[in-house]
Amino acid sequence: MTDAPARHRKRFGPLLGLAALWLLGTTATAEDDPGARIAHEGNDRGATACIQCHGEQGQGQAQPPFPRLAGLPEAYLIEQMQAYREGQRPNPTMAQVAQHLADDEIEAVSRYYAGMEPAGGPYRVPAGLLERGRGIALEGLPDRNIQSCASCHGEQGQKRSPALPPLAGHPPRYLMSQLRAYAQGSRKTSLAGLMQGIAKALEEEEMAAVSAYFASLPAREE
């Protein structure tokens, strides 16, 4: 009688070997990359692992709403972490994390997420809000001098530039919360001058609609 385990080892031995090498390579990369280490483990000074809220792939999550990080611009991520630390962007959880990261750690973890493939979305949203939001996102509200979101963030919300974040693939409630923060003047990062004016001019329903539109888009072109 043929020894089944031995037969399986002979058949799958090369594949098992490749899998082992891949896992070793993945571990080595995480160990060698300080940004990956912080993302997956935090540090020993009180900063928790980013993946606990933002997901293994940096894709974010809908409930509670945590934004995607994967594929966001490095300079933008650095600025946001510094803003959390300095109180320009109020958030107790992120302030606690940022205050326990050194400047080089913030740079490393920002570089790590900026180098990842975009991940996140699409989210299911009400059809009525989606249609209304598409109009605002792509055309703005010319009769009220509100420019389109697409003029800065791209029609599919995937445009990348050093200072402007892609909007596609973020949870709708997260996007809504940020529009409210701009409208209330509590978010004071470099984009505040532009975004506060736009957000203040939007009605609550319009904020919800444009948030739904960008949340309905995948972070990465399919």
Which tokens go with 58? Answer: 């940096």
Exposure string of 14-25, with b = 16+ CB inside 10 Å and e = fewer, is eeeeeeeeeeee
Binding residues, by number, are 50, 53-54, 94, 149, 152-153, 195
Fold designation for 127-215: Cytochrome Bc1 Complex; Chain D, domain 2 (1.10.760)
pLDDT at 162: 86
Residues of the chain with CATH 1.10.760.10: 34-120, 127-215
pLDDT at 214: 98
Query: CA 95, CA 147: separation in Å to the nearest integer?
Result: 32
Assign domain 34-120 one CATH number from 3.30.930.10, 3.40.50.2300, 3.40.920.10, 1.10.760.10.
1.10.760.10
- pLDDT tens for the 222 residues of the chain, in order: 445 445 544 444 554 454 444 444 444 355 689 999 999 999 999 999 999 999 999 999 999 999 999 999 999 999 999 999 999 999 999 999 999 999 999 999 999 999 999 999 999 999 999 999 999 999 999 999 999 999 999 999 998 888 899 999 999 999 999 999 999 999 999 888 889 999 999 999 999 999 999 999 999 986
pTM of this prediction? 0.85
pLDDT at 190: 87
Query: CA 50, CA 38: separation in Å to the nearest integer?
Result: 7
Region of residue 186 (left: phi > 0; alpha: psi -120 to 50; beta: else): alpha
Query: CA 7, CA 9: separation in Å to the nearest integer?
Result: 5
Binding residues for heme c, by number, are 50, 53-54, 94, 149, 152-153, 195
Query: CA 31, CA 117: separation in Å to the nearest integer?
Result: 20
pLDDT at 29: 56
